[in-house]
């Protein structure tokens, strides 16, 4: 009996094992039972696939904006300074018809020219060769730390430098005459010159460190400096990002990429000078240049792809960012614009062209020797070529900007009348009742604008709906954002079974 019961038990176990194996091999499952979850996952994957294209569109547009502001310093600014000085010296001969000797824009142009000339002559006292050999004698780890410190210092200088320049322009144009401000123009000019000089030296140290990395035999320093870009992914991907913060990061990436391109140009110029402008050496530098540019692009794509994935931000947001930059360009081309285009780029992206221009002029004049009439003729032709490039770039950018503004339906915001009341905080009800009273064609916005305005009218451009999240909220807007964040935390909690690593990063569970 014991043997029979044992056989029945073994047979039952074998049948159970066969049924289990059969069930494992033939069982099915239905993904459509959880359609919303898998649809969301698929959209996230498609968003990550769209990020490189949309991001590079924004980057290319932003880089050309920086290039336009950078070329302005070399091409149109000297001509504007010449016209301002010509007006200054010839106006007394014809009599002073206006209340002002110079227009505010002309005063700002002269100040920019004075800063450039003073800083250029001050840069002659900085020995580039001594700095190169001093940095080359340091260890690799020490140079890596120095380069990281220089990047942090560059961001701090850029964030504070435009405020110094704006304070100088505001003081020099006499806008504070009625308020009897105690600030003097000479102190503001001294601070501006000191800032541009120190920032130019900082960028020179960055370029020298990068030059040492290019000329090192084992390329270990260049590899370490490139790995620093991937460390940036770790510091930014797993943080909470709203659209406003992502827009600021995108502008910072545009500025950083353009600055790196100029630094690579400086490194190539210095190396070509040392090798007597041998074109064969340019092909030796070409792989390292491509490696640096490729790593920068790859890091930006990976960083933005995961930030948008974890924070539930669609790829269409980059077209909104691009429309906002285009709106800045179109609004600065109006005749009643309250700021120069290069200054608006500096405020939006943190790109200040004056220190970089001073350094590039210093490097070019020390690397290229101009002797003879033919050389001066080549310099003049090169200058006219730069002017042609600047004009062509400006025309293309203005056309593209008008197209982006039209696509975002922001053109009517260019014609809203400025507020005539005192700058007080209006109520939200009155803001909702306000509607634009003028709607015209965008093509006429750049040309058909009033030449003069009343002094008691403050010209302000009204931001568009897509631009509301692109500016830092202040006043009542801060209260609104705080209330929205409190409402998010008061929302009903999800079941613990529904929480995974995607919902933790995507819904920002604290």
Q: How far apart (Å, rounded) are the C-alpha atoms in residues 332 and 347?
A: 13
Q: Give the model's pLDDT for residue 87.
A: 83
3-class secondary-structure state, position 395: helix
Q: How far apart (Å, rounded) are the C-alpha atoms in residues 341 and 353?
A: 12
Q: How far apart (Å, rounded) are the C-alpha atoms in residues 441 and 405?
A: 12
State the first-to-last Cα distance of the chain, in angstroms, to the nearest integer: 66
Q: How far apart (Å, rounded) are the C-alpha atoms in residues 385 and 391?
A: 10
Give pLDDT < 70 ranges for the chain.
Answer: 1-15, 33, 92-100, 175-185, 218, 221, 337-338, 414-510
Q: Give the model's pLDDT for residue 469.
A: 39
Among residues 62, 471, 71, 397, which one has the least CA distance to residue 254? 62
Q: Give the model's pLDDT for residue 201.
A: 94
Q: Give the model's pLDDT for residue 195.
A: 93
Q: Give the model's pLDDT for residue 396.
A: 93
Q: How far apart (Å, rounded) are the C-alpha atoms in residues 262 and 207?
A: 9
Burial class, 115, CB count within 10 angstroms (exposed 0-12 / middle 13-18 / buried 19+)? buried
Q: How far apart (Å, rounded) are the C-alpha atoms in residues 506 and 469?
A: 19
Q: Give the model's pLDDT for residue 99.
A: 61
Q: Give the model's pLDDT for residue 44.
A: 78
Q: Cα 288 vs. chain centroid, distance in angstroms?
A: 24
Q: Give the model's pLDDT for residue 58.
A: 93
Interhelix angle 353-367/243-274, nearest 10 degrees = 10
């Amino acid at each position: 009996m014991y043997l029979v019961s044992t056989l029945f038990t073994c047979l039952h176990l074998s049948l159970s094992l066969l049924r289990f194996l059969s069930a494992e091999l033939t069982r099915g499952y239905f993904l459509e039972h959880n359609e919303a979850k898998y649809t969301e996952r698929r959209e996230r994957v498609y968003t990550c696939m769209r990020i490189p294209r949309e991001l590079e569109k924004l980057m290319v547009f932003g880089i050309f904006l920086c290039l336009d502001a950078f070329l302005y310093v070399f091409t149109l600014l000297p001509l504007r300074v010449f016209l301002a000085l010509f007006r200054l010296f010839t106006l007394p001969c014809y009599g002073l018809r206006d209340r002002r000797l110079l227009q505010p824009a002309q005063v700002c142009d002269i100040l920019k020219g004075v800063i450039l000339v003073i800083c250029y002559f001050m840069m002659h006292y900085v020995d580039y060769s001594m700095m190169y050999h001093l940095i080359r004698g340091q260890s690799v780890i020490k140079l890596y730390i120095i380069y990281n410190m220089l990047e942090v210092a560059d961001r701090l200088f850029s964030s504070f430098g435009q405020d110094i320049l704006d304070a100088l322009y505001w003081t020099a144009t006499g806008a504070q005459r009625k308020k009897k401000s105690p600030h003097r123009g000479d102190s503001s000019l001294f601070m501006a010159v000191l800032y541009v000089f120190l920032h130019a030296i900082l960028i020179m140290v960055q370029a020298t460190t990068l030059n040492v990395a290019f000329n090192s035999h084992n390329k270990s320093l260049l590899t370490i400096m490139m790995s620093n870009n991937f460390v940036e992914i770790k510091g930014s991907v797993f943080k909470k990002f709203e659209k406003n913060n992502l827009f600021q990061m995108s502008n910072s990436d545009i500025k950083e990429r353009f600055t790196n391109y100029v630094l690579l140009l400086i490194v190539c110029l210095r190396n070509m000078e040392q090798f007597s402008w041998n074109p064969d050496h340019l092909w030796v530098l070409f792989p390292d240049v491509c490696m640096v540019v490729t790593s920068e692009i790859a890091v930006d794509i990976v960083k933005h792809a995961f930030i948008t994935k974890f924070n539930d931000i669609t790829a269409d947001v980059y077209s909104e960012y691009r429309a906002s930059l285009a709106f800045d360009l179109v609004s600065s081309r109006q005749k009643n614009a309250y700021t120069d285009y290069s200054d608006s780029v500096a405020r939006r992206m943190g790109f200040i062209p004056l220190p970089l221009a001073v350094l590039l002029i210093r490097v070019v004049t020390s690397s290229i020797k101009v002797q003879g009439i033919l050389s001066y003729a080549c310099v003049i032709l090169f200058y006219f070529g730069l002017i042609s490039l600047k004009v062509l770039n400006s025309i293309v950018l203005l056309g593209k900007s008008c197209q982006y503004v039209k696509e975002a339906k922001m053109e009517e915001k260019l014609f809203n009348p400025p507020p005539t009341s005192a700058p007080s905080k209006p109520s939200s009800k009155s803001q909702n009742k306000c509607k634009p009273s003028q709607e015209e064609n965008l093509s006429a916005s750049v040309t058909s604008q009033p030449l003069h305005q009343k002094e008691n009218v403050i010209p302000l451009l009204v931001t568009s709906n897509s631009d509301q999240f692109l500016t830092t909220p202040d006043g009542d807007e801060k209260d609104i954002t705080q209330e929205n964040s409190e409402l998010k935390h008061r929302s009903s909690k999800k079941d613990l079974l529904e929480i995974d690593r995607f919902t933790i990063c995507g819904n920002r569970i604290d």
